[in-house]
Structure 1
Amino acid sequence: MSTTLPATLPKAVSAAQQQHIVNIVRRAAKAEIMPRFRSLSASDIRTKSHANDLVTAADTAAEMMITRALQIAFPTALVVGEEAVADNPALLDQIADAPLAFIIDPIDGTWNYAHGMAIFGVIIAVTQFGKPAFGLIYDPVADDWVIADEETPARMETAANNPRTLKASMGKPLGALIGYVPLHMFAKEHQAKMAVALTGFTRSHPLGCSAHEYRMIAQGHTDFLLTASLHPWDHAAGALICERAGAHVEMLDGGPYSADRRSGHLMVAPDRTTWNRLKKVFTFLLDQP
């Protein structure tokens, strides 16, 4: 459970610090991720929890490089990387009580990356007592990123320094929605109902990469997503970015998202009205088995 937040919190990271974080991520991608893309050997890839849950040499090297740089720049902050959590799950328990935490997904969409598909990204979230306060989703292939904090609108930025403010899509009828729902990741007892529900949308294809799913929603290209799990490295940055792009972001069982949540389903929709319509479709997920 999250601790009670102080009445006021200082700004998590300044504009200058945000740019430093961007620079850290870009350097790690240039040094460790892109040189290995489509050049991995079999020994560079291993499995974690199951056959399709992969980690590569690029994941571990990039996370180590980013972690070191963040620890130097923010010596009192908690730094939680996806691969570090695989070795030490207790790190997750520290997020709720951390005044400042950095949560790293060194390569989101590792399966895609390992198979030569250019749909992957680097995600950095900053949280304060579990609440997302800054989000960065970087595309190493395009060398661009979406970014937001708790005070500024979501925007797309590039090395050419031409930021573009992002806006989520407009609400529309359910049958016209395009979304991301990873059917295979939901509990077996829910998959049959979920499969039927998905026929009610125009499209509901996951990309196998939360980074690009959140980027697409923040840009207004697609409309909604529903998560099957709550790994904070997948969702903390994207939840904030989409919210700052005008989307409605809420847990399916009600209330705001927090990076210390371990169970439940996060849903993002263009507005509250559309979110409420979607909740009626997926409310069976709240039934106790």
Structure 2
Amino acid sequence: MLDERSVGSLAGTVEEIIRHAAAAEIMPRFRKLAADQVAEKRGPHDLVTIADRSAEEYLSAALTDILPGSVVVGEEAVHADPGVYDALRGDVAVWIIDPIDGTRPFVQGEAGFCTLVALAHRGEVLASWTYAPALGEMATAIRGRGARLNGTPLQSGSPTPGATLEVATSHPDYTTPEQKRSLLRLKVDGMNTRPCAGSAGLEYVAIARGDLDATAFCWENAWDHAAGLLLVTEAGGAQTTVSGRPFRIEGGNELPLAAARDADTAARVRKLLAGV
């Protein structure tokens, strides 16, 4: 049975596995990718590289080995077989993996990418790891036991009263007309919005450390959000979908999804997105 103690006993080993995957499969290819090592999945803005595939293969094998009976829902595995996603609705422990969150920055030789891993059971995210190897940052969270960045406790804090809120959003090019209308409601006095820099995981780290006030995202792939949302909430922040319900990793959420440094900010962003 998975509980705080058993998850905590795995945490250090998981971190070592993630660091090894990055050192062996990702960083040797950083700024050294050949043209034939990059491919499009659903279009020119949705890329996959040999590093994505190799890292996910390594992580999948290593993580299921340390937790017998567990399964993997990884971005590249789901792309190959969408039915893999159904494991999030089952009864077994699930490793949720995004081998390179921010593949576009990775391909462009920018440091703003990370590896995301979360451990979930019966729809609840129990632990998460966000590793940005080019930045030398490892953010971790265990449900009920707080969040850390490079071993130091994280506290998101609250925005300064009266200060302009900084909010990262989905890029308008990747949203439906209805979602565009929701995001446009954030363009009010006291709120400054900008598109996500390329890695949702690193935007969540920015919230957890108090460098960003909120996010508003319009897609629900579990591998992009599971790790970061736990990190934010364990750092003292909050998250909600536009319906007012918490984000569900198994899907079926009413979007956009908001995360913020504190509950009041999350509620303010949600109300604007909902137009209430």
TM over 0.5: yes
User: What amino acid does structure 1 have at the position aligned with 2:153?
Assistant: T
Pairing of 1:16-31 with structure 2 (within 5 A): 16-31=9-24
CA shift in 2, pair 1:29/1:181, >3 Å: same
Structure with greater strand share of residues: 2
Deviates more, 1:90-99 or 1:188-197: 188-197
C-alpha distance in 1 between matches for 2:185 and 2:266? 19
Which residue of the other structure, out of 262, 271, 274, is the alignment partner of 1:280? 271
Between the aligned residues of both structures, percent identity stands at 30
Return the offset for 1:271: 2.1
Alignment of 1:28-177 (within 5 A): 28-157=21-150, 163-172=151-160, 176-177=164-165
Q: Distance in 2 between matches of 1:204 and 1:35?
A: 32
Aligned Cα root-mean-square deviation (Å): 2.0
Determine if the alignment matches structure 1 residue 227 to structure 2 residue 217. yes
> 1:240 pairs with 230, 250, 259, which one?
230
> Which ranges of structure 1 fall in alignment gaps of 5 or more residues?
1-7, 158-162
Q: Does 1:179 align with 2:164?
A: no
CA shift for structure 1 position 172: 4.8
Which 10-residue stretch deviates more, 77-86 or 261-270? 261-270
Structure 2 stretches of 5 or more lacking a match?
Answer: none
SS of 2:144's partner is: coil
Aligned length: 273
Question: How far did residue 131 of structure 1 move?
Answer: 1.1
1:250 aligns to 2:240 (yes or no): yes
Q: Structure 1's 192 and 18: CA in aligned 2 closer, same or farther, altered over 3 A? A: same
Would you say the 8 A contact 1:136–1:148 is kept in 2? yes
The answer to whether the Cα contact below 8 Å between 1:198 and 1:204 also exists between their aligned partners in 2 is no
Displacement of 1:102 after TM fit?
A: 0.4
CA distance in 2, matches of 1:34, 1:9: 32
Shift of 1:224: 0.3
The answer as to whether partners of 1:174 and 1:278 remain within 8 angstroms in 2 is no
Residue 214 to residue 15, structure 1, CA distance change in 2 (3 Å): same
8 Å contact 2:93–2:122 — kept in the other structure? yes
Distance verdict in 2 for CA 1:222–1:234, change over 3 Å:
same
Over residues 235-261 of structure 1, what are the superposed CA-to-partner deviations in whole Å (9 max), with x where a residue is unaligned? 011111100000111222122222102
